Amino acid sequence: MSVKKGRQTYVNDRGVYIRETAAIVGPREKAGPLGDCFDEVRPEDWGEKTWEKAEAKFICAAFHKLMGKTDRKTEDIDCVLAGDLMNQCTASSIGLKDSNAPYLGLFGACSTIAEGMCIASFLINSGGMDNVVCMASSNFCSAEKTYRTPVEQGGQRPPTSQWTVTAAGGLWLSSEPGGPEITSVTVGRIVDFNITDSNNMGAAMAPAAADTIMTHMSDLNRTPDYYDAVITGDLGITGSGILREITGLSESVHMDCGAMIFDPVKQRTNSGGSGCGCGTAVLSCCFYPKLIRGEMKKILFVATGALMSPVSVMQSESISGIAHAVAIEI
Amino acid sequence: MSVKKGRQTYVNDRGVYIRETAAIVGPREKAGPLGDCFDEVRPEDWGEKTWEKAEAKFICAAFHKLMGKTDRKTEDIDCVLAGDLMNQCTASSIGLKDSNAPYLGLFGACSTIAEGMCIASFLINSGGMDNVVCMASSNFCSAEKTYRTPVEQGGQRPPTSQWTVTAAGGLWLSSEPGGPEITSVTVGRIVDFNITDSNNMGAAMAPAAADTIMTHMSDLNRTPDYYDAVITGDLGITGSGILREITGLSESVHMDCGAMIFDPVKQRTNSGGSGCGCGTAVLSCCFYPKLIRGEMKKILFVATGALMSPVSVMQSESISGIAHAVAIEI
C-alpha cells in the first residue's frame, strides 16, 4: 500500500528495495571526479555510425550489465520503465526492444529516473509487481545535435550552460528485502518561472526542485536535516545556487549530481553536467554504494527535468521545470 | 491491490472507475462518421500562429472541458498522466503547465492513453491515489511536420498511410464507484517485425497488438468472445487486416478507432486515422457513452504505438510496436 501524506507525497507501506544498480559512462565522465565509481566506460560513439545508435547501444548494454549483476533473468522482471532525451525516446525503445520485458516509456526529461522510481514504487505497492527496472540515458553528442547545434559547429557555450552527460544506467527495484529502501516518493508539478534561455537549464529547473523539496518536507513534516543529503539530479552549479537561495538549503546538506560529475575548471564544463544519464549514473554508482557501505543512511534524491524542445524554444515558449523526489533509507 | 495473472496482466482488486471523459477534435474528425459524438470541434490551428501552440491549446482546453464536466476541482486530482507525439512531448507539458496538478509525462506513441490508464490502475490500486486524469493529444499538421513532410509540400500518400487525428482528450479515473470499471490491464512488450516503412504504421503496430491481446486472453484464460468488442487504437484498415489474420479475431468482435473515425472514400484518408488523440477521442466519446447506456457491457481497449522518430527511420532502424490493453466492464 502507498499511503498519501499531504498533497503530493506517498509513503511506501510495502517495502521497495534497490537491489542492484549499474551505469556505463563515456570518457569525459570517467575523467571526472567520480570516474572510479562507474561500472564501465565506453567511447561516446561506441563504434557506431551515429550518435543515436551509440546511445541505444549504451542503454541496451546497461540493461544487460544490470541484469548480469543480479541472480534474475529478464523473465523475472515485471516491467521496465525507461526514457531519454531523444525525440520520441528512441534510444530507450530501440535499446530495450530485445529485452522482451513489459515496457512503459516515460518522458520526464532529466527527471526521468526519479519519475520511473516514483511509478515503480506504486507498481510494487499495488501488490501486483515485484521486480521493476528503471532506466534512463543521455549522450552528449546526440543531445547537442537534438537540442542545440551540431558539435562540429563549435558554438560558444555561455557560463550557465551544462554538458550533457554520456551515460546510461538503471536500478533494479524489488519488493524482496535487501539493500536501501525507497520509503516515500513525492510526485512533482510543472513549475514555470518564464525562463526562455535554453543555455540556462539550471534556472528553469531550480524552482521545480524547490517546489518538490519544500512540498516533500511539508507533507512529511520533516526538515532537510532529516536527510544526510538532499541530492538534486542536474541543476548544475548555477541551478544549485538558485535552489539554495530559494530554499535556504545549506551546502552541507545539498549536493547536485550535475555539479559533482565534472571538474568545471579542468574539464571546462561551465555549469556542470546534465542529462537523464547524469543523476542516474551518480545515484547508481556513487550514492547507492555509500548507502550500502553505511556512509550515508538517509538521502532524498530529486531528479529535475526541463520540459522543452528546440521547437518550443524557437516559438518563444518558456521552459518549464519538473522534479520528482525519492526518499531512500537504509 | 493489483493481482498478477500470468506474465503481463493485472486484475484490479480495488475498483478503478471511469467517471468522466472529454475530447475536442478538429473539423475533419467532426466531418467523419463519429462526428456527432465529440464534445467540441475547433479549427486545427485554433487561431494560433503555430501548429504546436494549437496542439497545446487543444490539450489545455480538453483538460478544462473534462474538469468542467465533474464536480471536482484540480486540487482533487492526485495526478495527471499525459503524452503526445511532439518531440519531448511539449504539447502536454505546455498545455498542462497551468493545471498545477502533479504530473507524470509518458511516451508511448499512440499507445499513450492506454499506457496512462494502465499506470493509473496501479496508482489507484496502491491505495495511495484516488483521482487520476489520463490525457493524450495529436494534431494532423504538427505530426506531419514532425514525422513526414510539411503539409504545404503536398507529398503523395500511399494507400497504407494514415491521417493523424487532430484531437485531445482525457478520462477521469477514480476509486469512487460510478460508471464503467477498469477490471484488468495488460502491460505490453516492445514487438519488432522489422518494418521500416514509416507510411505503414499499421503493419508495425499489428504484431504488438496481437501479442498483447493473445497474452491478455491467455493470462486471464479468456477468449475474445468474453468481450462485446476488442477495440484497437489506430491500426487503421491495413493494420486491422493484419491483426485479424494473425489472431483470427473476427470482424464481429474487432473494431479499430483509426478505421472508424474517417470515411476512407469520402474523406480520402487512405488507411484511416492515427495518433494519440484517435483512440483517446473515440474511447472517450464513442465507447464510453455506449458503456454508460448499456449498449456494450465489456470491452477490451488496446491502444497501439509505433516507437520511431524520423531520425530513427532515416538511420534504417526498424519500427517497433507496443500495445497496452485495458479491460473495461460495466
8 Å CB contact of A87 and B309: yes
> Nearest CA to B166 among B48, B312, B289, B330?
B48
DSSP string covering B200-260? -HHHHHHHHHHHHHHHHHHHHT--GGGSSEEEESS-HHHHHHHHHHHH---TTTEEEHHHH
| pLDDT at position B24 | 98
User: What confidence category does residue B155 fall into, taking pLDDT thresholds of 50, 70 and 90?
Assistant: confident
Q: CB of B196 within 8 Å of any CB in chain A?
A: no
Grade residue B151 by pLDDT with cuts at 50, 70 and 90.
confident
**Can you tell me the distance from the alpha carbon of A198 to that of B311, in angstroms, rounded to the nearest whole number?**
22
For residue A246, pLDDT over 80 is answered with: yes
Enumerate residues 282 to 311 of chain A having a beta carbon within 8 A of any beta carbon in chain B: 307-311
Dihedral sign for Cα atoms in the order A115, A120, A122, A123: positive
Q: Domains in chain A, start-ordered, CATH in brackets?
A: 2-174 (3.40.47.40), 181-329 (3.40.47.40)
Give the pLDDT confidence score for residue B156 in this predicted structure.
87
Can you tell me the mean pLDDT for A252-270?
97
Listed as own residue / partner, the contacts of A43-49 with beta carbons closer than 8 Å and 24 or more positions apart are A44/A139, A44/A140, A44/A141, A44/A166, A45/A141, A49/B315
pLDDT single digits (tens) B306-324: 999 999 999 999 999 999 9
List, in sequence order, every residue forming a beta bridge with B80; answer none if it has no partner: B103, B133
* Rounded CA Rg of chain A: 18
| A163-199 pLDDT tens trace | 999 999 999 999 999 999 999 999 999 999 999 999 9
CB B71 within 8 A of CB B20: no
The DSSP secondary-structure symbol of A106 reads B
Q: Which DSSP letter does residue A42 get?
A: -
Beta partners for A254? A230
- Which residue in this structure is represented by grid cell 478544462? B64
User: Out of B87, B126, B312, whose CB is closest to A309?
Assistant: B87
Cα A16 to Cα A32: distance, rounded to the nearest angstrom: 31
Tens-place pLDDT, residues B106-140: 999 999 999 999 999 999 999 999 999 999 999 99
Q: Which residue has the cell 498522466?
A: B81
Which DSSP state fits A212? H
| Per-residue confidence (pLDDT) for residue B113, from 0 to 100 | 98
Instruction: Kindly state the average pLDDT of the residues B30-52.
Output: 97
Q: What is the pLDDT of residues B230-254, one digit of tens each?
A: 999 999 999 999 999 999 999 999 9
Global pTM? 0.98
- Give the CB-side neighbour count of residue B4, counting CA atoms within 13 A: 17
Interface membership of A128 toward B (CB under 8 Å): yes
In eight-state DSSP terms, residue B285 is I
What is the phi-psi region of residue B72: left when phi exceeds 0, alpha when psi lies from -120 to 50, beta otherwise?
beta
Q: Chain A within 8 Å of B323 (Cβ-Cβ)?
A: no
Q: Which of A115, A125, A310 faces B128 most closely, judged by CB atoms?
A: A125
Four-point Cα dihedral B288, B291, B295, B300, nearest 10? 90
Nearest to B2 by CA among B105, B128, B172, B190: B128
CB B196 within 8 A of CB B313: yes
DSSP designation for B147: H
Buried b vs exposed e over A171-194: b needs ≥16 C-beta within 10 Å?
Answer: bbbbbeeebbbbbbbbbbbbbbee
Q: Which three cell numbers stand for residue B154?
A: 503536398
Do the Cβ atoms of B234 and B200 come closer than 8 Å?
A: no
Residues on chain A touching B317 (C-beta within 8 angstroms) = 53, 90, 94
- For A16-41, what is the mean pLDDT? 98
pLDDT at A166: 98
State ipTM. Answer: 0.98
The mean pLDDT of chain A is 97
Other CB atoms within a 10 A radius of the CB of residue A71 amount to 8
What pLDDT is attached to residue A163? 96
pLDDT band, residue A156 (cuts 50/70/90): confident
Residue B303 has pLDDT above 80, yes or no: yes
Which of A8, A87, A101 is opposite residue B311, by nearest beta carbon?
A87
Banded pLDDT at A288 (limits 50, 70, 90) = very high
| Per-residue confidence (pLDDT) for residue B150, from 0 to 100 | 77
Residue A150, pLDDT > 80, answer no
Angstrom distances, CA of residue A54 to CA of A90, A168, B22, B277: 12, 11, 41, 32
Give the pLDDT confidence score for residue A283 in this predicted structure: 98
Distance CA B274, CA B235 (A): 7
Cα separation, B46 vs B43, whole angstroms: 5
C-beta of residue B126 within 8 angstroms of C-beta of residue A2: yes
Residue corresponding to grid cell 500470468? B6
Phi, psi for A231 (deg, rounded to 5): -110, 115
Distance from CA of B284 to the nearest CA of A (A): 22
**pLDDT for the residue B188:** 98
pLDDT at A151 over 90: no
